[in-house]
């Protein structure tokens, strides 16, 4: 019988890799995958906190709204990257980040102020 790979199992494996020591390498090329979405209504994301491991991070943004959105990552006021702006659909972005706490937000004017923002914790 093949075991289904659940997100919880993946998280356990990732945690075990971290527990082995800071220098423990994860499988080559493996990126932390961070998923975030915007609901059909309202100016908001489905979460306020995203978590990833240091190194390469893949951001998968699903916009379920017809309103244009994006997901951008910043450190303080320095924008580091993020997805393109799109209406309903899916956008992917890659970033390489060190340990720390970053901000994510939607850069469409007015959206961050309306609440489209949160923290990305890299640890
Ligand atoms: Cu937006």
Q: Residue 120: is its pLDDT beyond 50?
A: yes
- Compute, in angstroms, the gap from residue 37 CA to the centroid of ligand 1: 11
CA 35 to centroid of ligand 1, rounded, Å: 16
100 CA distance to ligand 1 centroid (A)? 24
* Tens digits of residue pLDDT in 61-95: 999 999 999 999 999 989 999 999 999 999 999 99
Distance CA 75, CA 25 (A): 25
Which CATH number characterizes residue 52's domain? 2.60.40.420
**What percentage of the chain reaches a pLDDT higher than 70?**
76
Domain count for the chain, please give it: 1
The DSSP line for 14-37 is HHHHHHT-TTPPPSTT--EEEEEE
Residue 25 pLDDT > 60: no
Confidence of residue 30 (pLDDT cuts 50, 70, 90): confident
* Residue ranges making up the domain that contains 106: 30-122
pLDDT of residue 26: 52
Going from the Cα of 6 to the center of ligand 1, the distance in angstroms, rounded, reads 30
118 domain-assigned: yes
Q: Give distance in angstroms: CA of 86 to centre of ligand 1.
A: 9
The secondary structure element, H or E, covering residue 96 is strand 89-97
CB within 8 Å of 119: residues ≥ 6 apart = 48, 49, 50, 101, 102, 103, 104
Q: Do the beta carbons of residue 69 and residue 63 sit within 8 Å? A: yes
SS3 content of the chain, % helix, strand, coil (to 5): 15, 40, 45
Residue 11 domain flag? no
- The torsion angle over the Cα atoms of residues 58, 64, 70 and 74, rounded to 10 degrees, is -60
**What is the whole-number distance in angstroms between the Cα of residue 2 and the centre of ligand 1?**
40
**What is the distance in A from the centroid of ligand 1 to the CA of 34?**
18
């Amino acid at each position: 019988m093949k075991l289904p790979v659940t997100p919880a199992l993946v998280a356990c494996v990732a945690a075990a890799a971290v527990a082995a020591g800071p220098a423990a390498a994860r499988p080559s090329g493996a990126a932390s995958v961070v998923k975030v979405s915007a609901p059909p209504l309202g100016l908001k994301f489905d979460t306020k906190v995203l978590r990833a491991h240091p190194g390469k991070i893949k951001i998968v943004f699903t916009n379920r709204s017809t309103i244009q959105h994006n997901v951008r990552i910043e450190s303080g006021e320095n924008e580091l990257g993020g997805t393109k702006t799109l209406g309903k659909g899916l956008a992917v972005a890659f970033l390489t980040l060190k340990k720390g706490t970053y901000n994510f937000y939607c850069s469409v004017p007015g959206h961050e102020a309306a609440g489209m923002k949160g923290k990305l914790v890299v640890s």
